Amino acid sequence: MATDDELLDQIRALRKRLAQALREAHNRKVSLGDLIADRWETAREYGFGEGTSCYDNVLVLGDVKVGRNTWIGPNVILDGSGGLEIGDHCSISAGVHIYSHHTVERSTSLGGKPVDRAPVKIGHGVYIGPQSIVEKGVTLGDRCVIGALSLVNSDVPAGAKAWGVPARVQK
């Protein structure tokens, strides 16, 4: 039986081989979890739709429903504690945070008020740019585009493009 040090050496060697193969095939480097996990299997384990991929390092909380052929990038937070639905053929870029709750009132009332929750609904064919935040209660209509680094705190209609802090629909 291998000692802990021997096993750790074997794991490190495996990580190195997997990382090298990924770099050669796709010129990318990912975390250990994403080296050994299959993104499509991860999505299936969450019950997400067929053809959806989800990086291993995505944080999924509560009731999250995701449609078919959606890409969920690395370092994403999907908070479904108030309910979260994401449609088909969406792109949820790296570092996006989608929240269906907040604790502002609970914190500032020193626990006297409850956690505030409201569902988030993201339509079909939606693109959310990197590092954007979608707040509780927001609906993003089908085929809308959210620019990178945006704070989305109100609904965005179907087909619209919005960006900024706070995000505003662009004409």
Q: What is the mean pLDDT of residues 81-91?
A: 98
pLDDT at 4: 92
**Confidence grade of residue 141 (pLDDT, cut at 50, 70, 90):** very high
pLDDT at 32: 87
pLDDT at 31: 85
Judge whether residue 33 has pLDDT over 90: no
Strand stretches in 14-96, DSSP E: 53-54, 59-66, 71-72, 77-86, 91-92
The residues carrying an active-site annotation are 102
The pTM assigned to this predicted structure is 0.90
Tokens (6 digits) for 115: 């956690």
pLDDT at 1: 82
Contacts by residues 162-171 (CB-CB < 8 Å, ≥ 24 positions apart): 163/129, 167/132
Tokens (6 digits) for 109: 């009332």
Choice among 16-20, 87-91, 147-151, 166-170 with the minimum mean pLDDT: 16-20
What is residue 86's DSSP assignment?
E
Cα dist from 129 to 30, 36, 58, 100, 134, whole Å: 20, 26, 16, 18, 11
What element of type H or E holds 97? strand 97-98
| 56-83: pLDDT as tens digits | 999 999 999 999 999 999 999 999 999 9
Cα-to-chain-centroid distance, residue 164:
19
pLDDT at 35: 86
pLDDT at 30: 85
Find, among 97, 51, 94, the residue nearest to 74 by Cα.
94
Q: Which residues pair with 162 in a beta bridge?
A: 146, 169
